[in-house]
Chains A and B, each alone.
Chain A
Amino acid sequence: MARYILFRLLQAIPVLLGTTFLIYFMVFAMPGDPLLALFGDKTPNPALLEQLREQYHLNEPFFVQYLYYLGGIFRFDFGVSYSGQPVTEILAQTFPVTIRLAILALLFEMIAGILIGLVSGIRKGGIFDASALVVSLILISLPIFVTAFLGQYFLGIALGWFRPTVGAGAPIQDLILPALVLASISFAQIVRLTRSSVIETKNLDFVRTAYSKGLSSKRIVPVHILRNSLIPVVTYLGTDFGVLLVGATVTEGIFNVPGVGRTLYQAILKGEGPTVVSFVTVMVLIYLVVNLLVDLLYAVLDPRIRYAK
C-alpha cells in the first residue's frame, strides 16, 4: 500500500514539471504584449517599456524566462503579481475560500443526490422516481450561468433569502447560494448515477439471498444495496471534488467569490504569467492528490480491490 502511494506521488513529479512547462509556454505564446495592455490606448515611451521588460524578464528568450520561474519555485518564490502582492500570498488567500465553497457544494450534492437517487432506485417507476428524473434532467440541461443568474435573482434579490454576492471574508452563510448552484449539475448526475446503480444492485443474487434469509429492508437497503452501489458514485464525487477545488470561474464570477477561479481568470486577462502558472501548478497537484485518494477509497468500499503487491 505504502509503496503504491509512493509510486503514485513520484509519478506526480514529471506531470507537474510538464504542466508548468506547457502552461508557461502557452502564456508566453499568447499573442500581444501584456505590458502594452497595461497602458490601455496610450502608447508608452519605448525606454520605459524596455525597463519594465527587464524587470519582468520579458526581454529574455522563452527558456531563460522559464528557468527564472523554476528557480524561483525551488526557493518557494512564486513571483509577484503586477499589483505587488506575492503569488504565495494570493494562493494562501484564495484557496481557503474555494475549499470552503467546494466542501459545501460537495456536501449538498452528496447528501441530497445519494438520498434521492436511492429512494428513486428502490421505488423505480413511482411518482417520486419520475419527478426526480424530470428535475435532474432540467438541472443537467441548464448551463451553470443560467442556474446562477436565476438563483441570484430569485433567491438573492426577489426573495432576499441570501446575499446576491459574497461579502467580505467570504463567510459560510454567503457561500450557501453559490454552493447550491455549483452543486446543482453534479447533484442531478449523482441522482441518476445512484438510481441506476441501486436498480442494478437490488436485482443481484446476494440481495435476493438477504431478503430470503428474512433480513429487514432497514438493514438490506443501507448495508447491502447502498454500499455496493456506491463505487461509481464515489468515483464521480472524487473527480467532482477535484473539479470543485480548482475553482469555478463562471460561478465565482457571478457571485463575486474571491476564490481561485475568479482570481485565475483575472490573472489570465492581465497576462500575469507567474500567477497563472502557479495557480495551475497547485491545481494540478490538488487534482493528482484527490485522484489518488479516490483510488484508495475504492479499496475501502470494495475489499476485492487491493493495491499492495
Chain B
Amino acid sequence: MRINRIGLTAVALVAAGALTLTGCSGGGTTDSKPSANASAIITTNGSEPQNPLIPTNTNEVGGGKILDAIFAGLVYYDADGKPVNDMAESIDTDDSQTFTIKLKEGNTFTNGEDVTAQNFVDAWNYGAALDNKQLSSYFFEDIEGFSYDENVATLSGLKVVDDTTFTVTLKQPTADFPLRLGYSAFYPLPKAAFEDIDAFGQNPIGNGPYKLDGEGAWKHDESIALVKNDDYKGGREVKNGGLTITFYAQQDAAYSDLIAGNLDILDAIPDSAFGSYESDLGDRAVNQAAAIFQSFAIPERLEHFSGEEGKLRRQAISMAINRDEITKVIFQDTRTPAKDFTSPVIDGFSEDIKGNEVLTFDAKKAKELWDQADAISPWTGTFQIAYNADGGHQGWVDAVSNQLKNTLKIDASGAPSPTFAEVRTAITDRTIKTAFRTGWQADYPGLFNFLGPLYATNAGSNDGDYSNPEFDALLKKGQGETSEEAANKDFQDAQAILMEDLPVIPLWYANVNGGYGEDVDNVKFGWNSVPLYYDVTKG
C-alpha cells in the first residue's frame, strides 16, 4: 500500500461529493484558452520521497508519484483504474496461475538500453530477495519460489523465454495478478541499476513518459525536475514539456502557492481550506472519491467481543454510529459514508452488498442488539478507540464515542497515542487493549486488495486476527476464476460474510480533493488520487 505521510500526520486527503468520479474533475475544453504550449512545464505539489527512488523500495506517495512518471510497467491504469498495456503486448493465461507476458519491441530506457524480458525478471528478483530488504517485497510473495525466511536470488516462477517474452508461475491461482502489474513494484530496471543501486536510487534511469532533468534533478527536501522523455512509446502520451514537483512540508503552503498562481496542480487541500476551497477555485476545484477505506477494528481477543456476544456488540456499535452526520459535521462533506469494505472507485464495487444495512444508523436496533449481548454477559468497562494524535483523528473519534455513549448508554472514549509509530507498534505486537483505528489505501484497483491482505486468516495486515473459513474459501474461489465478473461476484459474497462478522467497523471512504490553476487544462485525477500529469496541457 502506498502511504501518504501527510495524510497520516495531517489528515489532508479527503473531500466531498463521492461518486462524482469524473463529474468534478474534467478540465473542460481547451478551446477557450490560448493554444497549449507543448513545452510548458507543469508544477505540482509533492513530498520528499522517504526512500531512494527504487521502484521496489518505495511504498509512499511522495516517491510513488515520481516513479509512476519516470517508469513504465507492463500496464498503466487509466483515469478509471482500468489497466491498459504499456510495455506489454499481451498478458495471457489459461488457469490464472501461469502467465505468459509478451513485450512490445523497440522500447528503451533513457540510457539507451532496450527494455527486455530480462529487465523485468531482474528487477522482480531484486525486489523479492530478502537480503535486499525492499519495502515492497510482499508484492512478489505469490510468485513461485518466493520466501520470507531465506534469501532467494532468482525466483523459480520467473522464466525468460526470449528477449520479449517471459513467463510467471504463481504459487496458486490469482485471477487479479494482471491487475497488479501497474503498481510501481513491478517496474523494470535497466542493467545499469545493478552496478550501483545506491547511486541509481538518487538518479534513477527509467523508461517512462518523463525522465529526470539531468544528474541531480532531485534536490532533496526541495523539488525534483522531470522533463518529457521523447523516446517513450507507451500509451501515456505526454502533452506538456515536463513536470516539476515541489516538496511541501505543509499543505497550507502549497495551497497558498496555488491561489497565488505559483503552482499548477495541487492534489491535497489542507483541512484549513476545506470550507473555502470550492469557492476559491470554482470549477477548478476537484472532489472525487479515492481508493481509501477507513474503519476501526475490534479484535476478538477483547473482553466481551468474542463469539456470539462479540458479533452482537459489533453490529450494535456499527448501527449506533451516524456516519452521515459525522461526515457532514466533522469532515464538512469531505468523506463519504461507507457502504462496503472497499471503495467506490474500484471496479466491482457494489452499494448493495447483502447485510450492509448494518452500516446505517438505527439507534433503536442498536440498543436492542446491545441488550441481547448484555443478556449473554453484562457489559463492563469503557469502550475505547485507539488513534494517533498526530493524524487529526481526534474529531471523529470523539464524535463516534459520543454517539456510542448516547445510543448504547455505555462509557466510551478515544485513547490517543502521541505518534503514529507508537500506535502501530502496539497494534503490531498485539499489546493493544482497545479497539483501534485502521485504514487501507489500495495498491491496485481491485476488490481483492481491500479484502485479502486485511481479513484472510493470518494475512499480513489482519491486525484484528480475524478468521473465518467461509470467507477464506470465497476469496480463494474468486482468485481461481478466469473471468473478472465471476471473481468480483465471489468477492462481493465474501463481503456479505464480513457484514455479519464486522472484523472492522466500516466508517467512510476518503475522497481526494485538489485543485488546479487557470493556466492548465485537462486535469484528471487517477483512481489512486494522483493527477494524470501526462495528459495536462498548459496554455
Contacts and interface: CB of A to CB of B under 8 A. Distances in A.
B421 interface: yes
B421 A168 contact: no
A268 to B, nearest CB: 10
Contact of B460 (A43, A149, A262, A270): A43
Contacts of B1: 40-42
Contacts of B48: 83, 266
Nearest to B54: A84
Given A31-B417, A84-B51, A168 B259 contact: no
Interface string A257-277: 010001101100111000000
Size bracket, chain A contacts? 35 or more
B51 A168 contact: no
Interface string A71-110: 0000000000111110001100110000000000000000
Size bracket, chain B contacts? 35 or more
A271 B421 contact: yes
A253 B253 contact: yes
B252 interface: yes
B249 A256 contact: yes
Given A42-B453, A83-B50, A36 B428 contact: yes
Contact of A84 (B52, B60, B133): B52
A33 interface: yes
A48 interface: yes
A113 to B, nearest CB: 28
Interface in A1-43: 30-34, 36-43
Nearest to B47: A266
A167 interface: yes
Nearest to A149: B252
Interface string B375-419: 000000000000000100000000000000000000000000111
Contacts of B259: 157, 164
Contacts, number: 171
B223 interface: yes
A40 to B, nearest CB: 3
Contact of A45 (B262, B418, B460): B460
Contacts of A48: 130, 133, 135, 137-138, 148
Contacts of B420: 32, 37
A169 B219 CA distance: 9
A149 B272 CA distance: 12
Nearest to A250: B250
B347 to A, nearest CB: 22
A47 interface: yes
A44 B133 CA distance: 11
Given A45-B148, A45-B460, A168 B256 contact: no
Contacts of B50: 38, 82-83, 270
B2 to A, nearest CB: 8
A69 interface: no
B423 interface: yes
Nearest to A53: B133
B305 interface: no
Among all A-B residue pairs, the 3 with the closest Cβ atoms: A32-B421, A40-B3, A32-B422
9 contacts: A37-B419, A42-B460, A44-B135, A44-B138, A47-B130, A55-B133, A83-B48, A149-B252, A165-B257
Interface of A: 30-34, 36-48, 51-52, 55, 81-85, 89-90, 93-94, 149, 152-153, 156-157, 160, 163-165, 167-169, 252-256, 258, 262-263, 265-266, 269-271
